[in-house]
Amino acid sequence: MNRNNDKISSFQLGMLISITVVGVGILTIPRTLTEEVGPDGWIVLVFTVFLVLGVGRILTTLAGKFSNQNIVEYSNSLVGKFLGTLINVGLCIYLVIFAAFELRIFGEITKAYLLFNTPIEILMITLLLTASYFARSGIESIARMAQMIFPFIIIFAFIITIPVLSELEFSNLLPVFRTPIYKIIQVIPVTFFSFVGMEMIIVCANFVVDPQNIKKNIDKSILMVAAIYMFILIITVTRFGIIETTHIIWPSLELFKTIDLPGAFIENIQIFVIAVWIITVFMTLVPLYFGASLTLSRIFKSKEQNYLVLPLIPLVYFMALIPENIAQLGDYSDRFAYYLGTFYMLILPSTLLLITYIKKKARRNKGV
């Protein structure tokens, strides 16, 4: 009957962030890292995790300062109406583009591995409609789903890799520490963008009922995502070797193509992996989509978010169709992550936080 649909726990927020981040990063991280630094990818990843934890702190501190306000509301009050609206419209567009990329990647992979003859448009539109149905049901359901799905995915990922273990060649990780330190620092940003999606913290944080626990849970979820990345990176590199890993488009998926389960009823586990991955990417898409519609509703100062989901459907859909092929898609999404991603993940939150501190200080000075 009356559904007060806006309360999640900080634990659920952590799960939501984890699943949003993991969705697409997991596909490419072995390739991008190995391309740049060869077998030393895991060192870069370790360094990146510290950076990401720092960014997580900035985002959670900012969210903690305004625990009952949405980003749209407090950015308006911090930087003024005009600049604020600009930032927020940008945020909305950013989320829409991000969602569109996810959708396109989903379409490409499903077509490549699962349904060879079905047009990609059909695949994309069915998933998009499902996602919009979900985005309409509100943050509570989305958080619940994330909470339920994420542990399941982790358990599944670990179980499914057990048959691979026998084929691993750990000498592929050698030689270590051959990359110079400046190169490692150069590569950190590349890895950093496997963590895009974290800006959902500032979009969703005001729904949390226990803001005091956000930091703890976000730290946990970042570490969890990092552990998954590390796991997949090491498994992939040791399975394929450096050269092969750099030449496969989606190494993490290719991993399961050749597994032979002894005496199993199912020969090709890869299809199941894709099936589970579809759920993951869906759960990445939905929070972004929800975030976009939420931001939009706050910009228009409307209380309800769910009808603003509908006008976004064609927007996301057509944007997803813009890249002409996978290469272009990768190119676009890299550039997108470099510019907009940096801005909304790092620059905007730290600037807003800085302004908050300055304003606070100014107020205190005035008070004295």
Partner 1 sequence: MSFFDDLFKPKEEKVKVPIKEDYQKNLDTIKEILKNCDDVIYREFQPMKDKKMNFAVVYAEGISNKDLLQEYVLKSLMLLSSDLLKEPRLMKEKLYEEIKKQSISVADIKEIDDMNEAIDSILCGDTVLIVDKWDKFFVIASKGWEFRSISEPSTETVIRGSREGFVETLRINTALIRRRIRDPKFKIKQMQIGERSKTDIAILYIEGIVNKDILKEVEKRLYEIKIDAILESGYIEQLIEDEWKSPFPQIQNTQRPDVVSAALFEGRIAMIIDNTPVALLIPATIVALLQSPEDYNERFLIASALRILRFISIVFALFLPSLYIAITSYHPGMLPTDLALYVAGSRMNVPFPAFIETFIMEASLELLREAGVRLPGAIGSTIGIVGGLVLGQAAVQAGIVSPLIVIVVALTAMAAYTTPNYSFAIAFRMLRFILMILAGIFGLYGIILGMIVILIHLCNLKSFGVPYLSPFVATETTWKDFKDVFIRVPLQFMKKRPEFLHRKNNDRLKNPKSAIEEDTEDE
Does residue number 88 form part of the binding site for partner 1 (CB under 8 A)?
A: no
Does residue number 11 form part of the binding site for partner 1 (CB under 8 A)?
A: yes
User: What is d(CA 357, CA 351) in angstroms, rounded to the nearest whole number?
Assistant: 10
User: What is d(CA 210, CA 355) in angstroms, rounded to the nearest whole number?
Assistant: 25
Cβ atoms of 345 and 199 closer than 8 Å: yes
Does residue number 115 form part of the binding site for partner 1 (CB under 8 A)?
A: yes
For residue 139, give the nearest of 289, 7, 51, 295 by alpha carbon. 7
Return the residue of 82, 182, 265, 300 that touches partner 1, per CB under 8 A: 265
Query: To the nearest whole angstrom, how small is the minimum distance from the Cβ of residue 267 to partner 1?
Result: 4
- Binding to partner 1 by CB under 8 A, coded x per residue (else -) over 146-175, reads -xxx--------------------------
Cβ atoms of 163 and 261 closer than 8 Å: yes
Q: For residue 59, give the 3-state DSSP assignment.
A: helix
Return the residue of 275, 327, 347, 354 that touches partner 1, per CB under 8 A: 275
Does residue number 212 form part of the binding site for partner 1 (CB under 8 A)?
A: no
Q: Which residues contact 185 (CB under 8 A, 6 or more apart)?
A: 47
Return the residue of 126, 171, 258, 328 that touches partner 1, per CB under 8 A: 126
Report the amino acid identity of residue 245: T
Query: To the nearest whole angstrom, how small is the minimum distance from the Cβ of residue 131 to partner 1?
Result: 9
Cα 219 off chain centre by:
15
Does residue number 307 form part of the binding site for partner 1 (CB under 8 A)?
A: no
Does residue number 26 form part of the binding site for partner 1 (CB under 8 A)?
A: no
Does residue number 127 form part of the binding site for partner 1 (CB under 8 A)?
A: yes
Which residues make up the interface to partner 1 (CB under 8 A)? Answer: 1, 3, 7-9, 11-12, 110, 114-115, 118, 123, 126-127, 130, 133-134, 137, 141-145, 147-149, 209, 264-268, 271, 275, 278-279, 282
